[in-house]
Amino acid sequence: MTTTTTTEHPQRTPEEVRERHAQNLGHQVAGGVFNPRQLLTSFPEALRKLDPRHQARNPVMFVVWVGSLLVTVFAVGDPSVFTVAVAVWLWLTVLFANLAEAVAEGRGKAQAESLRKAKTDAVAHLTDGRTVAGTELKVGDLVVVEAGQVIPGDGDVVEGIATVDESAITGESAPVIRESGGDRSAVTGGTTVLSDRIVVRITAKPGETFVDRMIALVEGAQRQKTPNEIALTILLSTLTIIFLLAVVALQPFAVYSGGEQSVIVLTALLVCLIPTTIGALLSAIGIAGMDRLVQRNVLATSGKAVEAAGDVDTLLLDKTGTITWGNRRATELIPTPGTTLDALVDASRLSSLADGTPEGRSVVELCAVEHSRPAEADEHEKTGEFVPFTAQTRMSGIDLDGRRIRKGAASAFTLGESTKAVVDEISAQGGTPLVVAEDDRVLGVIRLSDVVKPGMRERFAELRAMGIRTVMVTGDNPLTAKAIAAEAGVDDFLAEAKPEDKMALIRREQEGGKLVAMTGDGTNDAPALAQSDVGVAMNTGTSAAKEAGNMVDLDSDPTKLIEIVEIGKQLLITRGALTTFSVANDLAKYFAILPAMFAAIYPQLDKLNIMHLGSPQSAILSALIFNALIIVVLIPLALRGVRYKPSSASALLRRNLLVYGLGGVVTPFAGIWLIDLLVRLIPGIA
C-alpha cells in the first residue's frame, strides 16, 4: 500500500495535522463548541418534529407525546393551574427532545449548505470532441480537463499528471498531485485543475458523486440507527413498558386504599420514571458522533462504522507515511577501515549530485550540513558524466577525471567482512545501507533511515492502554520491519506483506472475535478494506478503495485512523454515561413523587419526603419541570461528547458510575428542591 501524506505534506507532524483540523471546512461550518444561539435557530425545526409520524420513531418520546396529548384534553375540560402547568411541561419535554435532535442535525445541514455552495456544475469536454454539461455525463465517459478548468465529475485519471485544488472539498489550501497509473489517480467533481492536462474516466453518475454523498450524509438524510443504538432503544422501550404497567397497576391499589389518583398525576409519574433523558438525547448523540468525524475531514458512510471504531481490537497501520515519514534520509557516513571520513564524504557527494531522488538529495544535504561541502556542483564537476540508477546495475554515480565513483545496493558490490558487518547492522536496526565505491574499491557505507514520526510511540502506548493491538504492515524485509516496529512501539508487524497477506491477517483476527480497522488507498487494498470492520480509504486513493471502505479521509492522512478510534470510543462512552445518568435520575424522582402521592393515605411515607417538598402538587410539578430542563442542560454534553481518556474498561466503568451514576442521583435532589421553592410561589398550586 502506498500513501501520499509525505508527498503532499512532507513536513506535517501529527500535532500539526490536529492543529489544521481546527481550521478545515468542517470545523469552520460546524464548530466544535456548542453555541446557545443554536437552540434558537433550531427551534422552528423542533416544532416541526412534533409530527406524530416523527415521534413514533422514538418509543420513549412517543409515550410522552401521547401523555401530553391526553393531559391537554383534560386541561381543556378542567383548566386548573396544576393541570395546565403539567400539560405545558409535558409538551416542553417533547419539544426539548426534538430540540436536541434539531441542533445536532442543524450543524450537519450547515456543513451540507457550505458544500452545496462549493459544488459547481461544470462543462465537460469529451475526448471525442463533444462538449456536454456535467449533469449529462455517464459512467465510463472520458473527459479532458486542462489548467483552470473544473473537473466535471468523480473519476480516475487515465492519462497525464496535474496539480489540483481540492480546497472546496478538503479545506486544504495546498494543491495536490493527481496522476494516472498509481494510487493517486482519483479526482473529485467540483475541484479545479491548476496546471497541465489530464484525461479523466468518469466513475459516478450525476447526483451520485462524492460531494452529493457527502451532502446527504452530513445533513443526516441517510442516517440509520447503529446496532448498539437499536439495542439501547429496545432496552429503553422495555423499561418504558415496565413502568407503564407499574403505573397502570398502581391505580387499583390507590382506589382500594381510598386515595384514587387523577390521570394527570399518573401521567406525570410515568413520564418522570421512564428514561426520557437518554431517550431524548439518543439520536443527537449518534448524529454528533458523525459530526465530530466530519469536523476532522473524515466522511463515514454509516454510523455503524463510527460505532465499530469504538470497539476496535486490532489496528493495521501501514509503515510508510503512517508510522514513518516515508522518505528515507541519509543520516550517517561510515568509512571502511583504511578510508578517511573526508574521502567518503567527497565520494558520497559526487555520486549523488545528479541523483534527483529524495535519498540522493539527502546525501548531498548531509554532506553540506554536517561536513561543510558545497550543496551544488561546481563548473568542473558538471563536466563529469553522470551515471543514472538502473534496475540492472542497482547503482548510480559519476565518471570524473578518470575516477569511477558509484553508490548503490550492497548486493551490487563485493564486500569485505568488516563492511558486511556494517551493512547487516544497519539492516538489523531498520535502516537501508548504500555502499559507496571508487574504481571497485569500497570506501564506506551510507546509512539511510526511515524516520519514525514524533509522538507515535506515545500514541501507540495510549492505544495499548485502551486494549487495542497495533500491527505495522510493510513490504520491508523482516529485519528492517522488526527494528522499525521496536522503535515505533507497535505490538506486532507483518513484513513483506502482499494484498493476500493483509486479507489473511484480517480474517485471522476476525475469526478470534476481534474487530479490525485499517487504512488503504490503492486498488490492491480494496479487498482488505472491504473485509475489515473499519476501512478508512484515503481521498487521494483510487475509486475502488473509496468504494470498498466505510470511511473516507479527505486529508489522506493515514494516522487519522487513531483519532477515528478515539472518536468512536467517545461516542460509546457518551451514550453509556448519559444512559447511566438518566437511569440514576429516576431514584430522586421516586423520592419526590411517590411520597407526595400517598403521604395523605399512608403518613409513614412522609419519611421518604427527604427533600421536604411543599405539597403533592408542587412535588409532582417540580419533578416534571426538572425532567424537561435536564434535557436542555445535557444537549451541549451530548453534542460535544464526554471527554475520553485512554484507560482500561474497568477504570472507565468506575469513572462512569462515580461521575454520572452518583451525579445522576445527587443532581435531581438539588434541582427538584430548588425548583420546588419557586413552584410554591405559583398561585393555585396547593
Catalogue the active-site residues: 318
Compute the distance between CA of residue 258 and CA of residue 262 in angstroms, rounded to an integer. Answer: 13
Q: Do 545 and 558 form a contact (C-beta atoms < 8 A)?
A: no
Q: Bridge partners of 155?
A: 187, 202
Euclidean distance between the first and final Cα of the chain, in Å?
Answer: 74
| Of the candidates 539, 534, 528, 523, the residue with the CA atom closest to the CA atom of residue 154 | 539
**Where does residue 97 rank: exposed (0-12), middle (13-18), buried (19+ CB within 10 A)?**
buried
Q: Bridge partners of 551?
A: 300, 536
Q: Do 336 and 442 form a contact (C-beta atoms < 8 A)?
A: yes
> What CA–CA distances, in Å, run from 327 to 3, 357, 358, 449?
12, 10, 7, 8
Residue 107's Cβ-side half-sphere holds a number of Cα atoms within 13 Å equal to 33
Parallel, antiparallel, or unpaired for β 123-126 and 142-146?
antiparallel
Which strands sit side by side in the sheet containing 551-553, from one edge to the other? 298-300, 551-553, 534-538, 516-520, 314-318, 469-473, 492-494
Residue 407's Cβ-side half-sphere holds a number of Cα atoms within 13 Å equal to 30
C-alpha cell at 61: 418520546
> What CA–CA distances, in Å, run from 533 to 210, 309, 490, 644?
21, 8, 20, 22
Output the CA torsion 181→186→190→193 (10° steps): -30
| Of the candidates 372, 381, 379, 380, the residue with the CA atom closest to the CA atom of residue 352 | 381
Parallel, antiparallel, or unpaired for β 192-193 and 155-165?
antiparallel
- DSSP, collapsed to helix, strand or coil, labels residue 405 as strand
- The letter for the amino acid at 629 is L
Compute the distance between CA of residue 456 and CA of residue 489 in angstroms, rounded to an integer. Answer: 8
> What residues are designated binding site?
355, 359, 389-396, 407, 521, 525
Compute the distance between CA of residue 108 and CA of residue 31 in angstroms, rounded to an integer. Answer: 10
| Of the candidates 33, 115, 517, the residue with the CA atom closest to the CA atom of residue 314 | 517
| Of the candidates 136, 18, 16, 527, the residue with the CA atom closest to the CA atom of residue 537 | 527
Compute the distance between CA of residue 423 and CA of residue 653 in angstroms, rounded to an integer. Answer: 51
Parallel, antiparallel, or unpaired for β 314-318 and 516-520?
parallel
> What residues are designated binding site for Mg(2+)?
521, 525
The full DSSP string for 639-654 is: HH--------HHHHHH
- DSSP, collapsed to helix, strand or coil, labels residue 23 as coil
> What CA–CA distances, in Å, run from 140 to 34, 151, 221, 522?
44, 15, 28, 20
